[in-house]
Chains A and B, each alone.
Chain A
């Protein structure tokens, strides 16, 4: 039987380390935040305090520099790794951990997409038996999805314990993922985001964000999402998927040239401050948008397409089906483009069943990743809103995207198990 009383967080200074470790502290578990220096670890503790909105959290977390690792890890029951997304760096830490951890302690990686088996390749058998991916989404205080990617050497007892602990103690919404690049949420989410970035080259950034905005079942428009995540992080994720996978939408993981040039020009998004990214704030505090051809920021153009404005009015009144029927029954280039993305999202999600999540979970694992990890309307909820499988297949055919067998065989009953999905349609 596992008992988790002491938790080590490697990378407790980073966003994911500090906030994820904070969830353990919120459960009353003593944590040690390891960082390059004690001061940086203390900064991570303050992140955890803000997340919990409680000064009491400080009592549960101890800041330590990485050089204390060897002396303190032997007392830890769970070692949570959240250092930078770099395989060699993670492997280096895991070798250190393997040498000093106590046998039977859980070791988890917060990696959002690196191979679980590669990370533990040269570690001991006991390490491998207790090592797995436990990936939270940012910010974990608001996005409860938890991707569990078990190592083949994990016993059933260990798997059950970690699942139960994440669900009951850390209050996560679990989904089991396969050891595939970027697991489930990021594989599907970043396909959509990168394709949106590609289309922005032709249609403009604000037009793509307008067309694929919150009225299409997401909290944030796609390019605004990349801007917040960071263009460099976005590139690292899609490059990893491109290099390590091959599927029917493989080419949509190629970083657009203008995005590559933005990254080279340090236009990484919100974190770049004045140089910005897809958007930045101007001298008069006005919002500016990038022109993909010149890579210069300019004023936002006001866009208002009648059908989309009418969709928003329906959503404002909770008439979601009426809003979507406007998309299905009117024909224009912008609406076709929206349908292309919706159809693509449904198609790509269903096609990944069995590849990123176990086949026996059907669409429900992917649904949980998208709803609770991205705050997007889950793919099966789209099928329900569109009127069932047959009508959805017709949309996919009209939009010239592949109809996956997993969708065609899904049957006609209501598919989505995520409750209250109306909340994913926003009228902004």
Chain B
């Protein structure tokens, strides 16, 4: 029987910061995330046995690779422990966590640090937009295209439109909810930004079309950020709980996971989904895999969701793929208020990628941290009352790498 893998806690940097403007580099943000995680969890630094770093494209954004080595600079105590950097576009942080979880389940290590990090603000928006194109098949889908990713997700919008029809107002409502939720999150990038339905629905100087249809208000943010979490074996968590007078059943653990990779080209995804119930069948499969591993019936057993809303249309798809509605009926969950903060199954109480921010390689780790905070009842002003089990969807590329985690507690 593999060990349960607990999340002892962690830390997210303030996603509103611009580290380039502060004159700081990769080591600074890693140091602050690690210090925060260690302070929050109060684990002994010397207990960490492995470190997994999620990062998308630091070679491009800051001309620095080999990020697995950098956490060791935090303190000489860490020298010699195994580390690795993992890359799966926007799902990099989740893949790093999958690797750490697998090692702990296998009994190799008892305590691992998972750190997601991305510095994106040091380049202009066109350059950054071009770099993001490497998350798709750059040569075939993105070369020579300005802001290729909004255009790729416009095609998902098109597919929905063709198959089921989409009203823009529903997408606008998704943006508004994410911004509203972000206002409760003291670390969210957009916590003080102005947004309402009227703004989202009004095209103008401050809300331009970015792709062919999606607008600035539909997009996640360009963000500098890091998130670090500590994953522990049952043995370590038990000792940890005793030492701190905690009840083990109150510490969240990873109850299930799913990991499915789709063809990288969006054309192939579209082709493959023809005649199928779900537009993104691999995303749906990753979700049902996670439900099965968590031994739950489905979405009815989930308190809230942290999903990948790189664009509003992505969250629109997630509503259906999680099973909150039948395919083609995502709008019902929006109109009925199900996904609102006070709804039956709130989506992105943190603000998600649109409200909280999207430091690409850090997003999966940040979602796991938020799920842990929700399940532990420690999410502060954005705590979903009574949250016990949280589902996470983190996708890389145009829904190419799909990673789902279910995080919850026993007690």
Binding site for B on A (CB under 8 A): 26, 28, 52-57, 59, 141, 144, 171, 214, 312, 315-319, 419-420, 422-423, 425-428
CB B66 to nearest CB in A, in angstroms, measures 16
Query: Is B24's CB under 8 angstroms from A315's CB?
Result: yes
A-B contact count (CB 8 A): 70
B329, CB-defined interface residue at 8 Å = no
Q: Within 8 Å of chain A (Cβ to Cβ): is B22?
A: yes
Residue-wise, chain B 28-54 has the 8 Å CB interface mask toward A (1 for contact) of 111110000000000000000000000
Q: How far, in whole Å, are A422 and B194 apart by their CA atoms in the complex?
A: 27
CA distance A52 to B192 in the complex (A): 10
CB distance from A315 to the nearest CB of B (A): 7
A83 to chain B, nearest CB (A): 26
B-chain residues with CB within 8 Å of residue A428 when the two chains form the complex? 23
Whether A55 and B204, one on each chain, are in contact in the complex, defined by CB atoms closer than 8 angstroms, is yes
Distance between Cα atoms of A53 and B27 in the complex (Å): 33
Question: Lowest 9 CB-CB distances: which A-B pairs, in order?
Answer: A318-B28, A427-B23, A318-B31, A52-B194, A317-B27, A55-B204, A53-B206, A56-B199, A54-B199
Q: Is B220 an interface residue (CB 8 A)?
A: no
Q: Decide yes or no whether B165 CB sits under 8 A from chain A.
A: no
The answer to whether B29 touches A318 (Cβ under 8 A) is: yes
B209 CB to nearest chain A CB (Å)? 15
- Supply 29 A–B pairs (Cβ within 8 Å), ascending by A: A52-B194, A53-B194, A54-B194, A54-B199, A54-B207, A56-B198, A59-B198, A171-B192, A312-B23, A315-B24, A316-B24, A316-B27, A316-B28, A317-B24, A317-B25, A317-B28, A317-B31, A317-B73, A318-B27, A318-B29, A318-B30, A420-B13, A420-B32, A422-B28, A426-B21, A426-B22, A426-B23, A427-B22, A427-B24
Chain B residues near A57 (CB, 8 Å)?
A: 194
Decide yes or no: A315 and B23 within 8 Å by CB, A55-B204, A171-B183 being known contacts. yes
When chains A and B are docked, how far (Å) is the Cα of A420 from the Cα of B198? 34
Does B260 make an interface contact (CB < 8 A)?
A: no
Chain B residues whose C-beta falls within 8 Å of the C-beta of A317 in the assembled complex: 24-25, 27-28, 31, 73
Cα of A11 to Cα of B25 in the assembled complex, Å: 43
Closest B residue, CB atoms, query A168: B183
Complex Cα gap A112–B61 (Å): 42
Give bound CA distance, A178 to B74, whole Å: 43
Q: Is B196 an interface residue (CB 8 A)?
A: yes
Asked whether any CB of chain A lies closer than 8 Å to the CB of B127, the reply is no
Q: Is the CB of B23 within 8 A of A214?
A: yes
| Known contacts A419-B186, A420-B14, A423-B17; is-contact A56 B196 (Cβ 8 Å) | yes
Residue B268 lies at the interface, judged by CB distance under 8 Å to chain A: no
Q: How far is the CA of A319 from the CA of B32 in the complex (A)?
A: 9
Within 8 A of A (CB), among B9-25: 13-14, 17, 21-25
Check if B205 is an interface residue, CB within 8 A of chain A. Answer: yes
Residue in chain A with minimal CB distance to B198: A56
Provide the bound-state CA to CA distance between A56 and B217, in Å: 13
Provide the bound-state CA to CA distance between A316 and B32, in Å: 12
Indicate whether B126 reaches chain A with its CB closer than 8 angstroms: no
Residue of B nearest to A423 (CB): B17
